[in-house]
Amino acid sequence: MDFRKEFRVPEGGKLRLQDIDPAFKGHHESAEAAREETESYRGKLAALQTLLYAERDRAVLIVLQAMDAGGKDGTIGHVFGALNPQGAQVAGFKVPTQAERAHDFLWRVHAEAPAKGEITIFNRSHYEDVLVTRVHGLIDRATWEARFEEIRQFESLLAQTGTTILKFFLHISKDEQLARFAQRLDDPGRNWKISEADYKEREFWDAYMAAYEEALAKTSLAHAPWYVVPANHKWFRNLAVSAIVAATLEELGMRYPAPTVDLARIRREYHEAVKEEKAEHRHG
């Protein structure tokens, strides 16, 4: 299956999330069945990141959006945990601070964009400012429409200066979200993730779906595509995201840079040094 073709939000089209099955799992029936394929993509990601870091000619930005308990943290851990932290970072965007609110909504985001040679994963992102703000009536249509255009321009700037952008909406059902909340309640290691706001936000589920549909449809472009990944099955989510990122990075045609030193001279000097050391041992 070509995950990029299957899950990509078409440019200029309309999106109906209710037509996408969040429990879809492709031809694999279980996590165990998909394990080998997923691990092969994780291996590719690690190798491709090394190329990216060595080449230092471009950057990669991964945007993760989802409803609460949608799997952003899990995706970061299971998919991008394969990356070398030296060239990868995660940026999270929570409620803006007072200083951030004093600037335009993209100010705090641009500062976290990846440098050349690096991969940055956004755990939530600038899209919160056309989602949460819209759902809770903090902005009007004119404002979010203007922000769509500002986001398109911002991502175009990143792309023009060498950043590959991939955006993922991890699509879970309302029932699956509730089940995950219940798991958190029963797991001491995840109790800390639960808040009363999580349950309160469920009242706005339909409004969030409408906001996501419009935001994704109006900002999925050739240089910054959105992918709606069925995420009820965590293992399938990991498989699809790793496959899409690996395939995209492979197409960049990255190459290791040419050496900046005279390798032949260094080899000669090395062999001469080895000979001298052996001679010293023989006569020592």
Indicate the DSSP class of residue 11.
Answer: T
Task: Give the span between the Cα atoms of 67 and 16, in whole angstroms.
Answer: 16
- Looking at residue 97, its amino acid is T
* Nearest partner of 9 among 239, 153, 1, 17, judged by Cα: 17
> What's the pTM value of the predicted model, to 2 decimals?
0.92
Task: Give the span between the Cα atoms of 3 and 1, in whole angstroms.
Answer: 6
Q: Dihedral sign, CA of 205, 211, 212, 213?
A: positive
Backbone angles phi, psi at 86, to 5 degrees: -65, -30
Q: Cβ distance 238 to 38 under 8 Å? A: yes
Instruction: Indicate the helix (H) or strand (E) that contains 226.
Output: strand 226-230
Q: Dihedral sign, CA of 234, 239, 240, 242?
A: positive
What ranges in 56-97 are assigned the alpha helix state H?
Answer: 72-78
Task: Give the span between the Cα atoms of 139 and 253, in whole angstroms.
Answer: 42
- Looking at residue 140, its amino acid is D
Residue with tokens 């001298």: 276
Map out the domains of the chain with their CATH numbers.
3-283 (3.40.50.300)
Task: Give the span between the Cα atoms of 275 and 279, in whole angstroms.
Answer: 6
Secondary structure of 134-194 in HEC code, one letter for each residue? HHCCCCCHHHHHHHHHHHHHHHHHHHHCCEEEEEEEEECCHHHHHHHHHHHHHCCCCHHHC
Identify the pLDDT of residue 284: 60
Q: What is the mean pLDDT of each run of 10 residues along the chain (284 residues)?
A: 94 93 93 95 97 96 97 96 95 94 97 97 97 97 98 98 98 96 85 80 96 98 98 97 98 90 86 80 70
Instruction: Indicate the helix (H) or strand (E) that contains 89.
Output: strand 88-92
